Structure 1
Amino acid sequence: MNTFHFQKPYFRLSTSPIIIRDNNQVEIGKVRRLYYHRVDQIMSLFIDRWAIDVVVESKDRVIRIQSKRISSWLRNKWTIHIQDQQQHVSFQLEDHSMVRMNPHFVFQLRGKSYSVKKKFANRQVTILDDDSGVAVAVIYYESMLPIQITRMTLELKEDSSLSPYEAICVYYILDLSIQ
Structure 2
Amino acid sequence: MEFGYFKKTVMKKTTKCIPIINKEGVPIGFIKRFYKNKVERILDHIFDEFFVNVEVMDANLNTVVKATENLSFRSMYRSNWSIECKEKGRLIFEDQTKIKTNPTMRFIINDTTYYLKKGFADKRVRLEDSKQTIADITYDKIIPPATVSIEKRQGDLTLHLIACLYYIFMLRE
TM-based fold match above 0.5:
yes
- Amino acid in the other structure paired with 1:52: V
Task: Give the Å deviation of 1:49.
Answer: 2.0
| Residues 1:135 and 2:136 are matched in the alignment | no
Please give the per-residue CA displacement for 1:69-96, whole angstroms capped at 9, x wherever unaligned.
112222111000012xxx5600000101
| Residues 1:73 and 2:73 are matched in the alignment | no
Please give the per-residue CA displacement for 1:109-131, whole angstroms capped at 9, x wherever unaligned.
2332100001111121110012x
Task: Give the Å deviation of 1:59.
Answer: 0.8
Name the residue aligned to 1:169.
164
The answer (yes or no) to whether the contact 2:88–2:109 under 8 Å persists in 1 is no
5+ unaligned residues in a row in structure 1: which ranges?
A: none
Name the residue aligned to 1:45.
45
- Amino acid in the other structure paired with 1:164: L
Secondary structure of 1:20's aligned partner: strand
Aligned positions, number: 170
State the alpha-carbon separation in 1 of the partners of residues 48 and 157 from structure 2: 30
* 61-70 vs 27-36, greater mean Cα deviation: 61-70
State the alpha-carbon separation in 1 of the partners of residues 110 and 137 from structure 2: 22
- Amino acid in the other structure paired with 2:167: Y
Any residues of structure 2 matched to 1:1-179 within 5 Å, and which?
1-62=1-62, 64-71=64-71, 72-83=75-86, 89-130=89-130, 132=131, 134-141=132-139, 143-144=140-141, 149-157=145-153, 159-178=154-173
Task: Give the Å deviation of 1:63.
Answer: 5.2
State the alpha-carbon separation in 2 of the partners of residues 113 and 61 from structure 1: 29
The percent identity for this pair of structures is: 25
The CA RMSD over aligned residues, in Å, is 1.7
State the alpha-carbon separation in 2 of the partners of residues 73 and 145 from structure 1: 28
Task: Give the Å deviation of 1:62.
Answer: 4.9
Q: How high is the TM-score relative to the length of structure 2?
A: 0.91
Q: How high is the TM-score relative to the length of structure 1?
A: 0.88
State the alpha-carbon separation in 2 of the partners of residues 145 and 104 from structure 1: 19
The answer (yes or no) to whether the contact 2:114–2:128 under 8 Å persists in 1 is yes
Runs of at least 4 residues off by over 4 Å: none
State the alpha-carbon separation in 2 of the partners of residues 19 and 95 from structure 1: 26
